[in-house]
């Protein structure tokens, strides 16, 4: 039991590290799209989500859940795409709502939404569904 708790804790920490790396990639893409390319922050957030999702999938598969040796890459990618689609929809709605209705700078809103969804949505679904 004790070993299982430690293992789950380590997986959670690795998952959050992967999420942080993916979020940094996501945020960088979002900011470049808004500040350099002049893209509306809502659309820029989706672009960032796509690049961040690819980053998170690769790190999650290779390092967090150690499932790169399995032959079910397509199945995991499909499951991840389903989870990711929900994340993008929730992320977009929360991002725009927090930015527009609470009147918070889009950069801060992006961070708040990413932290919230990382812990409540991504980790649970990746562990129990994508990389099971």
Q: Residue 94: which of 121, 67, 74, 73 has the closest Cα?
A: 121
Q: Residues 93-114: pLDDT tens digits?
A: 999 999 999 999 999 998 899 8
- Decide: helix, strand or coil at residue 22: helix
pLDDT tens per residue, range 68-87? 666 688 888 899 899 989 98
**Measured distance CA(132)–CA(130) in Å, rounded:** 6
| Model pTM score | 0.78
Q: Where are the domains of the chain?
A: 2-130
- pLDDT grade for 10, boundaries at 50, 70 and 90: confident
Burial of 74 (C-beta count, 10 Å sphere; 0-12/13-18/19+): exposed
CA nearest neighbour of 115 among 16, 13, 8: 16
As a whole number of angstroms, the distance between CA 57 and CA 84 comes to 10
- For tokens 């939404």, the residue is 113
As a whole number of angstroms, the distance between CA 59 and CA 126 comes to 12
């Amino acid at each position: 039991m004790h070993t299982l708790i430690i293992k789950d804790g380590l997986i959670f920490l690795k998952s959050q590290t992967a999420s942080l790396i993916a979020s940094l990639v996501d945020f960088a893409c979002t900011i470049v799209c808004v500040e350099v390319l002049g893209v509306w922050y809502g659309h820029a957030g989706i672009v960032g989500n796509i690049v961040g999702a690819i980053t998170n999938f690769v790190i999650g598969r290779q390092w967090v859940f150690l499932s790169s040796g399995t032959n079910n890459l397509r199945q995991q990618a499909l499951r991840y795409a389903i989870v990711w689609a929900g994340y993008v929809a929730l992320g977009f709605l929360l991002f725009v709502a927090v930015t527009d209705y609470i009147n918070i700078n889009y950069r801060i809103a992006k961070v708040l939404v990413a932290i919230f969804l990382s812990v409540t949505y991504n980790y649970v679904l990746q562990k129990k569904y994508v990389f099971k």
